[in-house]
Copies of this chain bind each other. A is one copy, B any other.
Amino acid sequence: MLTNVMEDYLKAIYELQDADQELVSTSEIASQLSVKPPTVTTMTKKLAERGLVEREAYNGVRLTDEGETVAIEVIRHHRLLEAYLVEQLGYDWAEVHEEADVLEHHISETLEQRLAEALDETTVDPHGAPIPSETLALASRSDTYLSECEDGAHLVVVEVSDRDPEQLAYLDEAGITPGTNLVVTEIAPIDLITVQPQPDDTPVSLPMDVARTIRVRELNDEPEQAATNARGGA
């Protein structure tokens, strides 16, 4: 039986692991989970014994298929909860992450299914992240981040990170949410990128670190109609 702490480690490794299956280091995991490196070493050894990760001493770990399955299941719980809390219980998109982070480890298969049924049409969570299907397949996800875009690019916001509530509240205020169209108006050499939601809106400047957490899709110069988004009211 897996503990919820183990689930947290698997989820963290999944989220830190790039598409190219590189090893995730001890210190990365430690910082993601706010624990000290020795704790991570102990834990990853245990996960390796159970066949959930492959471990290379001093180099890091990589999820096995089994470990990945668990991680995606937890992520499904997380995103279903976020979507449900926003759609059905009036949560603001900035406050759901914490609640979902706890509950994701404690809902039964039954509740998972009931939530999914109640969210029939919903395929992404309130921040735009795709909800893994019941079979734990993940919809493909944009690989382009706002931080990589060039000056003048026309984009639509696909997904923002759900990690930082204050950042989310700020972006919401600034009108940058999944579905928003943006034009990049300036890339300053001080790790600052400026975007403009609507042609005559106030431009919004964002630190590159923030831009790295925003996934976008590039438009071919023809602004698209805004997609619906599941973001909650204030």
Q: Could you tell me which A residues sit within 8 Å of B by CB distance?
A: 85, 88-91, 95, 98-99, 102-103, 106-108, 110-111, 114-115, 117-118
Contacts and interface: CB of A to CB of B under 8 A. Distances in A.
- Residue among A106, A107, A118 with the highest chain B CB neighbour number at 10 A: A106
A113 to B, nearest CB: 10
Contacts of A115: 89
Nearest to A84: B89
Contacts of A89: 111, 114-115, 118
Nearest to A102: B106
A186 to B, nearest CB: 38
B102 A90 contact: no
Given A103-B103, A106-B106, A107-B103, A114 B91 contact: yes
A89 B113 CA distance: 10
Nearest to A92: B110
A117 B91 CA distance: 12
B90 A110 contact: no
A99 B111 CA distance: 8
Contact of A108 (B99, B108, B118): B99
17 contacts: A85-B111, A88-B88, A88-B118, A89-B115, A89-B118, A90-B114, A90-B117, A91-B114, A95-B110, A98-B108, A99-B110, A99-B111, A102-B106, A102-B108, A103-B103, A103-B106, A106-B106
A143 to B, nearest CB: 34
- The 8 A-B pairs of least Cβ separation, nearest first, read A89-B114, A102-B106, A106-B106, A99-B108, A103-B106, A99-B111, A90-B114, A89-B118
Contacts of A106: 102-103, 106
Contacts of A108: 98-99, 102
